[in-house]
Amino acid sequence: MKIALLEDEVEQAQNLKDLLTQNQHSCDCFHTGKSFLYSVLHTSYDLLILDWQLPDMEGTEVLKQIRSELNWRVPVLFLTQRDSEADIITALEVGADDYLVKPARPGELTARVHALGRRTSGETEVQEALEVGPYSIDMSRRTIVYQGKEVTLTDKDFDLAVFMFQNIGRLLSRDFLLERVWGISSDINTRTVDTHVSRLRRKLDIKAENGYRIKTIYQHGYRLESMGD
């Protein structure tokens, strides 16, 4: 998984990054809420790990902004020294999925991270059908019906469409799409993604009048947005 870690103590952040990297995750570290928010709003992550005590704002305020500005459920794990029941309740109420008190045991932290990853991917794997506005997606038949007619798509077009419909409101960078849909690293020319997204717009008639649009985020990637939000 690609993880964003918000931890203001540099040594702790590096230790956590080393642990996550050893468990086959990639991890970007941030030491202020402001820098963390900027990256999360412009980059695709599978999991966020947040500290509470920060130099510029509290972790709960960071999470509130993420949940209010992003219409997607990226998993969030709070990792903090605050251990009162009231603190745990507050974090969960503003949108955290799990809560660990420092110092976290390496094995337990790793298990919690893996559990959040399984929960997220498992939701996608069990879906057999997806209804999004005028689009009906059949996972088993790998077909998309729009306004009563089946749309002819290549296998990769279908995979890209499904991934974007499952992540409405989420910024999807070109590198992230290459990794998740194509299964290749970002050193491949990202114009491949642009070509397929342009074709999806045309074939599925994705435009504001139909309730959805694919917004191009300059120098970053794309976000499928619901016009009803």
**Tens digit of each residue's pLDDT (9 = 90 or more) over 145-202:** 998 899 999 999 999 999 999 888 888 888 888 888 887 765 556 788 899 999 999 9
The average pLDDT across 28-42 equals: 90
Q: How far apart are CA 179 and CA 158, in angstroms?
A: 16
Q: How far apart are CA 196 and CA 214, in angstroms?
A: 12
> What is the per-residue pLDDT for 149?
93
The average pLDDT across 44-49 equals: 89
> What is the per-residue pLDDT for 45?
87
Q: Which residues contact 217 (CB under 8 A, 6 or more apart)?
A: 42, 171, 223
Split at pLDDT 50, 70, 90, the class of 48 is very high
Q: How far apart are CA 21 and CA 38, in angstroms?
A: 23
The average pLDDT across 31-45 equals: 88
pLDDT exceeds cutoff 90 at 116: no
The full set of domains in the chain, from first to last, is: 2-124 (3.40.50.2300), 129-226 (1.10.10.10)
Please tell me the pTM assigned to this model.
0.67
> What is the per-residue pLDDT for 162?
93
Taking all residues of the chain, what is their mean pLDDT, rounded to a whole number? 87
Q: How far apart are CA 8 and CA 174, in angstroms?
A: 29
Split at pLDDT 50, 70, 90, the class of 124 is very low
Burial class of residue 214, CB neighbours in 10 A (0-12, 13-18, 19+): middle
- Where is mean pLDDT largest: 41-45, 119-123, 160-164, 172-176? 160-164
The average pLDDT across 124-147 equals: 84
